[in-house]
Amino acid sequence: DEEFDELCFEFGLELDEITSEKDIISKEKGEEKAKGASDVVLYKIDVPANRYDLLCLEGLVRGLQVFKERINLPRFEKIIPAEGEGQRLIITEQTAQIRPHAVAAVLRNITFTKDRYDSFIDLQEKLHQNICRKRALVAIGTHDLDTITGPFIFTAKAPSEIKFKPLNQSQEYTASQIMDLYRTDSHLRHYLHLIENKPRYPVIYDKNGVVLSMPPIINGDHTKISLNTRNVFIECTGTDITKAKIVLDIIVTMFSEYCEKPFTVEAVEVVYRNGKTHIYPELAYRTEKVKPEYINKKVGISETPSSLAKLLTRMCLKSHVTGNGNHIEVEIPPTRADIIHACDIVEDAAIAYGYNNIQMVIPKTYTIANQLPLNKLAELLRLDLAAAGFTEVLTFALCSQEDIADKLGTDISATNAVRIANPKTAEFQVARTTLLPGLLKTIAANRKMPLPLKLFEISDIVVKDPNTDVGARNYRHLCAIYYNKSPGFEIIHGLLDRVMQVLEVPPNEENGYTIKAAEGTAFFPGRCAEVFAKGQSIGKLGVVHPDVITKFELTMPCSVLEINIEPFV
């Protein structure tokens, strides 16, 4: 187990855990339910999302064998049948609006066992969840070719006109009935929305009108694959032709090793709406040229071109040195759709070299990290506010429009608030422009607590600002609230004096701070003051207006202080 864990790590994978069905069930549902479950050891392996070729046992084992240099990477070959003997898939005009693309291939004289069959089905499911984006981009259908005759027609019809017996069902249903049938199915109900509200549903027929499948929902029962199936017809329909080609390539390259002639795939001719034809699968090999010094520089190693070529060959990228060692020519097989750019090749070279084998060096740019001054100030203020007997709260940065406007007696247009385009809930419609609503809501949720409640928060608020590159600006605010049977204005005023004292700002007009009587919609008339420091207005303090208190479902008076602390950095 340890050796295998080590091998996975070297290959860029992670052996997540070693477990068994029994262990999994007992963890989730308790030991009672786990009785009778299998004790067979299971390896849970984390595969990176870009490596579709490792999503089944066949591909994973093949990849590890090539990596260990026990086998050479097989060469995949497509066999184009003689004129008039091959299978054809005809795409009709009607599919254009709903699922325009389709590709297909045939695996001839394949031998299935229980394990191979399970792996075949499992790979399709994993691809559906991953690259196919829950079947939205591509849906895979696999059929027993001996039960049907080509050419096959991919078309779209009204739901009432489609009638067939779905996989593992005992009777025929129309497409609309199938939708109702699977509405409660835990697995298939997630895919119904993809075509449910469309006037026509996509469907694939054979020459005699037998339904192969209704993508992306369900295959027909007639073409069901079993362990005795010898010839498999694979079709991938979708809205993204590139992804459909990749999916088809992955399936045929993984399972062609079980064909009578290993690693061969029979091609299928796809006829498009405009009459043009194309042969699938593409199984395209392509070559890229990379400079050895580019790889060495990016990874931070100094290997010879030939050893780099060997490293890449171990990663299923057959490579050799060309042109006096100036270039490495890399052949990218159809299994490696994730190789898009030279940097992907560099990454594979680094994995094969071993991340742990790369020498650690001190970077050329030598810098010493430091805390952001604004955060440092906020941290110091938090300590002093806590020492003054106030409790820190952390509230959401998003709130409803009422919280920052109506409930505080102002209009939403006056707040300059940043709005969320399509809010999921009424609670999160705008970014807060003041910390006060969060504190009032916290008190409302803690009314059972003994009085007085003394709370504070130091966090960011957000306002629109057309002069910044992102159109908005954050300000770090300090807000404190005192909630009791009497308003306690003097306590909040005392807190302001204490904050200024620790900031070393004297109480005078020249270079200190002052407060002047002011009005604010959220404050009681004649009980509000504006705070000036460093020659600018930094916030307000005062007794909260009774209307505001009732709108936040509170019953006692409270006084509040809110200032911007950024001028003091």
In whole angstroms, what is the distance from residue 319 CA to residue 311 CA? 9
User: What CATH architecture is 1-46?
Assistant: 2-Layer Sandwich (3.30)
Structure tokens at 20: 């068994």
In whole angstroms, what is the distance from residue 407 CA to residue 37 CA? 58
CATH no. for 373-568: 3.30.930.10
**Mean pLDDT for the chain?**
91
Q: Is the confidence at residue 31, as pLDDT, over 80?
A: no
Q: What is the pLDDT of residue 396?
A: 92
| Amino acid (1-letter code) at residue 565 | I
Average pLDDT for 111-126? 94
Length of the chain: 569
Instruction: Evaluate whether 540 touches 530 at the Cβ level (below 8 Å).
Output: yes
286-357 matches 373-568 in fold: no
Quick: pLDDT tens for 67-104. 999 999 899 999 999 888 889 999 999 999 899 999 99
Average pLDDT for 137-158? 92
Q: Where are the domains of the chain?
A: 1-46, 77-280, 286-357, 373-568
Structure tokens at 442: 């916290």
CATH no. for 77-280: 3.50.40.10
What is the number of alpha carbons within 13 Å of residue 482 lying toward its C-beta? 20
Quick: pLDDT tens for 244-298. 999 999 999 999 999 999 999 999 999 998 989 999 999 999 999 999 999 999 9
Q: What is the pLDDT of residue 563?
A: 94
Kindly list the distances between the CA atom of residue 168 and the CA atoms of 208, 286, 394, in Å, as whole numbers in the listed order: 21, 42, 54
In whole angstroms, what is the distance from residue 418 CA to residue 425 CA? 16
What confidence tier does 426 reach under pLDDT thresholds 50, 70, 90? confident
Quick: pLDDT tens for 470-499. 999 999 999 999 999 998 899 999 999 999
Instruction: Evaluate whether 156 touches 95 at the Cβ level (below 8 Å).
Output: yes
Instruction: Evaluate whether 110 touches 255 at the Cβ level (below 8 Å).
Output: yes
In whole angstroms, what is the distance from residue 279 CA to residue 223 CA? 23
Q: What is the pLDDT of residue 185?
A: 87
The reply to whether the predicted model has a pTM over 0.75 is no
Q: Is the confidence at residue 367, as pLDDT, over 90?
A: no
Question: Does 3.30.56.10 match the CATH number of domain 286-357?
Answer: yes
Neighbours of 553 (CB within 10 A): 12
Structure tokens at 266: 């029979």
What confidence tier does 40 reach under pLDDT thresholds 50, 70, 90? confident
